[in-house]
Amino acid sequence: MKRTRFAEPHNEGHANHERWLLTYADMITLLTAFFLMLYSMSVMSKGKFSQLATSVRSGFGGVVQGGGHILPGGKGTNPSIGMGDAQSKPYEEAMKNLDRYVEQHHLSGQITTRSDERGVVISLIADNMLFVRGQAQLGPNSREALGQVAQILKTVPNSVQIEGHTCDLPIHTAQFPSNWELSTARAGAVLRYFTEQEGLANNRFMAAGYAETHPLAPNTSETNRAHNRRVDVVILKSDAQREQEWERKGEIHRIIAPP
């Protein structure tokens, strides 16, 4: 009987158990390239950083003088609107005087300063300091506070907008049918003080009443409502200052843009 011979399986060779090293090496290479890219994006030369810091600082709270030095804004809380050297010193001194007045008379929170896209905003709480509740006639305590603000306005030639604001509590009297009339009348009273009592030029000023439409805080408590009942004195940026600001933003973009 003929014996059948089965073919032996073909030997494929030894299995490669070190293939994982190729994948691991590829992963390490990719990670290295990734972190090198992040590092190169984050590195900025010392010169560029200095230019950027000067440009940003000049736009927010300080004035860059001729040699690139920074004139700080008061205690670091007083905003600036980008003035020349001749105007910056009296402006800064007047702002410091306002700081001292607020501190000496314990008016922190009642007189505040800030910057926005329009310029410098000096907020004065209406209750007790400026007006009797629901009225638009300046009270006896208002003259000293407004006099401090007037000294600041005298150091700059900028236009000034006086804004009256109220809380959301309605008013309905023969004199003030709504908060619109009350807020507008209060803005007008402060404007007249600056022009009639302090001798500031009429053509620098404008007045507006916003009623309860621009609150600083939600009208959810009497404390917040008291902060919303205020008059804002806005020292508006001039056209030249706005142009300088746009140029500064363009310079910042140029500095931080990759080469």
Average of pLDDT values for 251-255? 66
Residue 220 has a pLDDT of 96
How much is the pTM? 0.66
pLDDT in tens, 115-157: 888 899 999 999 989 999 999 999 988 999 999 999 999 999 9
Residue 175 has a pLDDT of 95
Q: Which of 40, 69, 73 is nearest to 53 (CA)?
A: 69
pLDDT in tens, 221-241: 999 999 999 999 999 988 877
Contacts of 182 (CB under 8 A, 6+ apart): 134, 136, 164, 166, 171, 176, 209, 211
Cβ–Cβ under 8 Å, residues 122 and 113 = yes
122, amino acid identity = I
Contacts of 167 (CB under 8 A, 6+ apart): 212, 215, 219, 224, 225, 226, 228, 229
Tell me the pLDDT band of 60, cut-offs 50, 70 and 90. very low
Domains and CATH numbers, the chain: 83-239 (3.30.1330.60)
Residue 65 has a pLDDT of 35
